[in-house]
Amino acid sequence: LLFLILFVNSLSTGIVKGFVSDGSNGEKLPFANVYLKGTEIGTSTNNKGYYILQNVPEGRYRIVASYIGYEEFEREIEIKRGSVITLNIELKPKPITVKGIKVTAQRTRFERSVEPSRVSFSQMEIKSVPRFFEADLIKVIQLMPGVVAMHDLSNKLYIRGGSPDENLVLLDGITIYNPSTHLFGLFSTFNPDAVASAELFSGGFPAKYGDRLSAVLDVTTKEGNSKRFTGEASTGLVTSKLLLEGPIPKGSFLFSGRRTYFDLIVWGFSKILGIDISLPYYFYDGVAKVNYNPSMDNRFTWAGMGGSDVISISEEETNEKISLRWGNQGTSLRWRRVLHPKLYGEILGALSNFFTRFSYKSEEESASIGQDIIDYTLKPDFNYFPSKYHTVDFGFETKRIEFSEFWRYSGEDTTMEENPPPLIPYTFTGYLQDKWEINPILYIQPGLRFIYYSIGNRFRIDPRLGLKYHFRANTALNFGVGKYSQYLVTLNSQESYFSIFDFWTPVDQSHNLPTAYHIVLGIEQWIGEGERLTIEGYYKKYYDLLIPKDNPLFFSFPSESLKVGDGYSAGLDIFLRKSYKDLYGWISYSLGFTKRRVNGKTYSPRYDRRHNFNIVIGSVIPERIPLLRKAKIDLRWYFATGLPYAGFLARYRRYYYDFKEDKTWYWWEYIRGSRDAYRYPPSHRLDLHLEKNIEIFGINGSWYIDVINVYAHKNVILYDWVYEDFQTGEEFDPPKRKEVSFLPYAIPSFGINIRF
Amino acid sequence: MKKIISIALLVLLWSCEKPPSEEYKPELNIFCLLRTNAKEQRVEVSRSYKMDEPSDYDLEDVIVILSGDNFTDTLIPETDTPGLYKDSVEIKPLHTYHLLVSAKDMDTVRGRTSVPGDFEIIYPEEGDTLSSAGDSLVLKKSKGARGYYIILSIVVDTTYSGSYSWTESQDTTQDSLVSYHIPTCFHIWESGSGSGIIKIIAMDTNYWSYRHKWDWEEEGIRLQEGIEGGLGVFGSAVVDSVRIFIKRE
């Protein structure tokens, strides 16, 4: 019936549809502008590069497609009654601009999208920000308004008062449960070479997204160059990377991998010098992708991703081996199809696993312990374009999430093991949202998200509403409101400075599903191509939050490890993206208030930062400066007010009786004030990134230098009370308060890339 | 522009916070573990100190009173060890004792403990040889003990000059006997062979809780077990021991 209606509707006019892609590599271009010259008929591509112009009267037109950084496409077409023209458009990139950065904000998106609290980044932006050894997506997102980093090395995202476990992180539609696991949490699992773009929704996100209370990070990897074989190899102080992409018959492929290599260097030295040294740690990750297009309207994409951190210690003398591994792995198959000119659909089947393994083995005994989160997802999504005033998105998602754990011990005489039955919640969610262009200045997007959660047979409906009102030509009002539910929580504290990974668990029958309500109101100012100013206020109210206790049990007893609370967060975010002559960059400022209430006590969690200011500026060094001419320089500076902490009010002796020696001894115990009574001093830091393109023997490449904490400012992350100077032996009574900083020095790093 | 700057300043002013001020009054800090079979009982008396104060034993007019069924003793300060008070009273199982500590300008501390009942080491008996390959320690449990603290001291060792290991166990069963698998609880494979002493301490609830309370909580802990009006613990324990020989296999 749907297709019949669509068919009858299309008889009186014509339709033009197709994809807009980058002519140099075949990558689809989302939100490109497509219109018929001299008419008011126009649209933009969806996030997969698909467009449709419908209800086009019979006649001859000139179709135009444009996208920032690309040459404009223009061609004549003829529309007949009832005709459907498929026109796939390839845009040629313009020669490299002085700015050197391809910004992703575009006029069409400003005009037509209803997406409050959204920021997007391209790969070049991710790579341009000064880096702590490695370019890292999460570190870039920490520079966005509303996002708090707890300290200089943090790789967690505290977004608008939400803890990291309240963020939905997607990699090509696959849920990533632990996105920051590399090098004990210092680096994320997203290899920047493989990332095409990333979008952050810091609040008020539409019905298409759900399952988390606070924010969404949607990361898309590159499609793979369908025009020619290309590659990039790079090496830095931490990892070496390789990216290969190219065409295959009717499609393309991409492979990207990286690995730390210091363990190999140390191993090589130990062999050459004949000394017994080793570095028992490394990490690696990789992404592979194959696209196959059997016809113009069909595309199959297989993707695989995997990565792991490994600590492996062997003692040859005692024949003992200790191994600890953790990581993400996943695979997906996606089928995209233009089912009808007005109906674009795709179906995704994905399997992902986050695993941890610890094992010990000696001649006498062995022990192992492990946990897995295995996520099976089936997810059809559709875009339906019933008229030029409506874009309806709907879809479903079925998930089976398996939480399993085990331990085994095997000694000379005994073998013990425990494999408790896995916890397996099922979810079935559906969403329906309609972007309705009421008139050229007012867009609304109502939506509903339906959730069924198998533990406790719970059913929920989360309504959402987005609105955009262009009250001036270049100024729009953004509004978003919605209800959000979450059915997975973590058992480890989200307020700790470091955690390698989170221990997830499904909400059990004894607890209500945590719920949040968002309201967002802001102004968006279009300044120019790729330039905009947004000012947004938000309020977020939480109910039935499940917060880990201070000494949680990670295995089997989630109910006993969680306490129930509520809270709110409120604030104001300002974001300005601007170019000025040869300068480009952005400024973000956030004012935030976050409170939690547990057992009747209200407090500010440790990530409640009041003011957060970031500035990123980039430019190209003028030609008159030797050696560095045309090199790209990027600077980042931040200033942030201090985080709350529980200060020590007093100390007292904690005695113990030694039954063997028949005497007492003591150490100092402390009485703390309330957990948010004090705040650390403000922190600030300047980082620098310098990159210059080079050509050696016909091979293009670049070198780069980064310096983190250029002026070596010590940002205080905690106070340590010192009773003795370990160097001089001098004792202090009263003890001295010593400031502890993670980055007390300027940290330089460098690397090279080659492209072929 | 003036409007924008004014609004920005207003926002900044609104978001400024009052500097924290938390008052804390120092409290008496008591440590007293009454032990059966002990020649003397000790009470450590000090106080808590603000972080910028030196930790001197500066209490004045300290009075320490220990009382039981038939006695009330005012304890004598040890001249060589500031803050230490002693009494030679004999502590009996299943009896209740009270403690009172006062000092000038400090709140008075009152404590109470009920000594656990006697227990019996069923196995090993004095002079028995235990096997590191697998043996058991069997107790007839103490009435009223919250848990046991067991120490193995190997005095003469064929491979080590001396070793010491221990285990702790909370009493959660209704059984009258409790048994410990010896290699598991003492890691004997690391201790070697030799003659030794197993010392067993049955702890009351106050001292057990004191030993097992840790600073997990965000707001820290206040150790206050068996006492009111201050910090510390007033607990009791029954102690017994047996000499054995460990044979490593």
| Residue B20 in this model has a pLDDT that exceeds 60 | no
Residue A551 and residue B223: Cβ atoms within 8 Å? no
Contacts of B53 in chain A (CB under 8 A): 734
Residue B22 and residue A649: Cβ atoms within 8 Å? yes
For residue B160, what pLDDT is reported?
A: 44
- Tell me which residue in A591, A656, A677 faces B11 most closely, judged by beta carbons: A591
Q: A732 to chain B: nearest residue by CA?
A: B54
Place of tokens 């393109």: A693
- Whether A652 contacts chain B with CB within 8 A: yes
Residue A652 and residue B239: Cβ atoms within 8 Å? no
User: Which of A371, A368, A378, A357 is CA-nearest to residue A403?
Assistant: A371
Residue B222 and residue A671: Cβ atoms within 8 Å? yes
pLDDT, averaged across chain B: 82
For residue A4, what pLDDT is reported?
A: 52
Q: B51 to chain A: nearest residue by CA?
A: A650
In which element (H, E) is residue A695 found? strand A683-696
- Tell me which residue in A655, A660, A679 faces B153 most closely, judged by beta carbons: A660
Q: Which residues of chain A have pLDDT under 70?
A: 1-12, 95-106, 108, 551-559
Q: A548 to chain B: nearest residue by CA?
A: B217
For residue B49, what pLDDT is reported?
A: 95
Which three-class secondary structure state does DSSP give residue B12?
A: helix
For residue A520, what pLDDT is reported?
A: 97
Which residue, among A659, A672, A680, A718, would best test binding to B if mutated, counting the most B CBs under 10 Å from its CB? Answer: A659
Which residue, among A496, A535, A657, would best test binding to B if mutated, counting the most B CBs under 10 Å from its CB? Answer: A657
Q: A657 to chain B: nearest residue by CA?
A: B33
Q: Sort strands A611-620 and A583-598 into parallel, antiparallel or unpaired.
A: antiparallel
What interface predicted TM-score (ipTM) does this complex get? 0.89
For residue A477, what pLDDT is reported?
A: 95
Angstrom distance (rounded) from CA B201 to CA A593: 52
In which element (H, E) is residue A33 found? strand A33-36
pLDDT tens profile A309-360: 999 888 877 788 999 999 999 999 999 998 888 899 999 999 999 999 999 9
For residue A96, what pLDDT is reported?
A: 46
Residue A506: asked if its preceding bond is cis (omega within 30°), the reply is no
User: Which of A687, A681, A680, A679 is CA-nearest to residue A614?
Assistant: A687
- Tell me which residue in B20, B27, B48 faces A678 most closely, judged by beta carbons: B20
- Tell me which residue in B48, B55, B219 faces A672 most closely, judged by beta carbons: B219
For the record, the structure tokens of B152 come out as: 């193995």
Q: In A637-654, which positions are buried (b, 16+ CB within 10 angstroms) versus exposed (e)?
A: bbebbbbbbbbbbbbbbb
For the record, the structure tokens of A408 come out as: 């085994």
pLDDT tens profile B147-175: 888 877 776 555 444 445 556 666 666 67
For the record, the structure tokens of A445 come out as: 């997007």
- CA-based nearest distance A323→chain B, Å: 23
Which residue, among B51, B53, B188, B199, would best test binding to A if mutated, counting the most A CBs under 10 Å from its CB? Answer: B51
Q: Where are the beta strands (DSSP E) in A475-629?
A: 475-485, 488-490, 504-506, 515-528, 531-548, 562-580, 583-598, 601-603, 611-620
User: Which of B42, B58, B108 is CA-nearest to residue A664?
Assistant: B42
Q: A733 to chain B: nearest residue by CA?
A: B54
Contacts of B239 in chain A (CB under 8 A): 659
For residue A103, what pLDDT is reported?
A: 46
Q: Where are the beta strands (DSSP E) in B48-190?
A: 49-50, 63-67, 72-74, 76-77, 84-87, 96-102, 109-114, 120-123, 129-131, 136-140, 147-157, 163-170, 177-181
Residue B216 and residue A733: Cβ atoms within 8 Å? no
- CA-based nearest distance B220→chain A, Å: 5
Residue B54 and residue A675: Cβ atoms within 8 Å? no
Which residue, among B5, B10, B15, B154, would best test binding to A if mutated, counting the most A CBs under 10 Å from its CB? Answer: B15
Which three-class secondary structure state does DSSP give residue A439?
A: strand
Asked if residues B42 and B84 have their Cβ atoms less than 8 Å apart, the reply is yes
Asked if residues A129 and A142 have their Cβ atoms less than 8 Å apart, the reply is no
Angstrom distance (rounded) from CA A467 to CA A450: 21
Q: What is the mean pLDDT of residues B19-44?
A: 88
| Residue B4 in this model has a pLDDT that exceeds 80 | no
Residues 566-595 of A with CB under 8 A from B: 572, 591, 593
Total beta-carbon pairs less than 8 A apart between chain A and chain B: 105
- Whether A682 contacts chain B with CB within 8 A: no
Residue B211 and residue A656: Cβ atoms within 8 Å? yes
Q: B45 to chain A: nearest residue by CA?
A: A653
Asked if residues A91 and A21 have their Cβ atoms less than 8 Å apart, the reply is yes
For residue A335, what pLDDT is reported?
A: 95
- Whether A745 contacts chain B with CB within 8 A: no
- CA-based nearest distance A110→chain B, Å: 24
Residue A664 and residue B44: Cβ atoms within 8 Å? yes
Angstrom distance (rounded) from CA A290 to CA A193: 16
The one-letter amino acid at A117: S
- Tell me which residue in A655, A659, A737 faces B31 most closely, judged by beta carbons: A655
Q: What is the mean pLDDT of residues B61-88?
A: 92
Angstrom distance (rounded) from CA A29 to CA A27: 6
Angstrom distance (rounded) from CA A517 to CA A158: 17
For the record, the structure tokens of A567 come out as: 């809270």
Residue B214 and residue A551: Cβ atoms within 8 Å? yes
Angstrom distance (rounded) from CA A677 to CA A57: 68
For residue B167, what pLDDT is reported?
A: 60
Residue A673 and residue B219: Cβ atoms within 8 Å? yes
Contacts of B220 in chain A (CB under 8 A): 646, 648, 670-672
Asked if residues A634 and A129 have their Cβ atoms less than 8 Å apart, the reply is yes
For the record, the structure tokens of A55 come out as: 């209800």
Instruction: Give chain B's radius of gyration (CA, Å).
Output: 25
Q: Where are the beta strands (DSSP E) in A362-425?
A: 366-387, 390-410, 415-418
For residue B112, what pLDDT is reported?
A: 97
Q: What are phi and psi of A197, to 5 degrees?
A: -160, 165
Angstrom distance (rounded) from CA A30 to CA A301: 17
Asked if residues A598 and A493 have their Cβ atoms less than 8 Å apart, the reply is no
- CA-based nearest distance B24→chain A, Å: 7
Asked if residues A45 and A32 have their Cβ atoms less than 8 Å apart, the reply is yes
Contacts of B149 in chain A (CB under 8 A): 659
Residue B219 and residue A674: Cβ atoms within 8 Å? yes
Q: In A64-83, which positions are buried (b, 16+ CB within 10 angstroms) versus exposed (e)?
A: bbbbbbbeebeeebebeeee
- Tell me which residue in A653, A655, A677 faces B22 most closely, judged by beta carbons: A677
For residue B219, what pLDDT is reported?
A: 56
pLDDT tens profile A703-753: 999 999 999 999 999 999 999 988 888 889 999 999 999 999 999 999 999
Q: pTM for the complete prediction? A: 0.85
- Tell me which residue in A653, A659, A678 faces B151 most closely, judged by beta carbons: A659
Residue B22 and residue A674: Cβ atoms within 8 Å? yes
Contacts of A671 in chain B (CB under 8 A): 24, 48, 220, 222
- Tell me which residue in A572, A653, A659 faces B46 most closely, judged by beta carbons: A653
Residue A655 and residue B215: Cβ atoms within 8 Å? no
Contacts of A653 in chain B (CB under 8 A): 29, 31, 44, 46, 55
